Amino acid sequence: MESGMNTRFASSYVDRVFAEKELSLIYHLVSVREMARPLPDEFWLFCRIYEWAPARSGVWQYYEGLSDEAFIRMSQELERFGLFEIAAQYRLGRKTWNGPDRAAAVDEWLDLHAQRIHDAAFALIFDLRDCLKDKD
């Protein structure tokens, strides 16, 4: 792997991280790729779900730094791709993050449903994984 905007990933690497469902490596791969070329919206949503869902310090920290524009887009994209339950919890977190319990119910929901959330995020991009491969 080279550094900079010309970073290249072997197709076998892309295939392996997808086969092993290594979400942190996929997140990194998408983050690097989207700097060099546009990717389908599913990749944007995958990254935003990944940033939101593993908020182990408490989801309130996620919402504290969230812009209105990012919140609206995330809500719309979750709905657009049929992730209605996740969208509802995402919106609930935005409403409750600054209260006395700092979105404890959303934190608990995230903990209880982490695998299902990550599976849904992964499913968004699985069939599009070839978009991450070099086009030589």
Cβ atoms of residues 37 and 7 within 8 Å:
no
Cα gap 30→44, rounded to integer Å: 8
Residue 37 lies in a domain: yes
Q: Give me the domain span that covers residue 24.
A: 11-132
pTM (2 d.p.): 0.87
| pLDDT score, position 63 | 86
Please, are residues 47 and 30 in contact by the beta-carbon 8 Å criterion? yes
- The pLDDT mean for the chain works out to 88
Q: Is residue 6 part of a domain?
A: no
Q: Report how many domains make up the chain.
A: 1
* N-terminal to C-terminal alpha carbon distance within the chain: 15
**Domain for residue 4, yes or no?**
no
**Is residue 89 a part of any domain in this protein?**
yes
Tens of pLDDT along 58-92? Answer: 677 888 889 999 999 999 999 999 999 999 999 98
With a cut of 50, list the residues of the chain below it in pLDDT: 1-4
Q: Residue 83 carries which side chain, given as an amino acid letter?
A: L
Supply the pLDDT for residue 135.
73
Give me the pLDDT at residue 2, please. 41
Question: Is residue 1 in a domain?
Answer: no
Residue 75 lies inside a defined structural domain of this protein: yes
Domain assignment present for 96: yes
pLDDT value for 98: 74
Is 21 inside a domain boundary?
Answer: yes
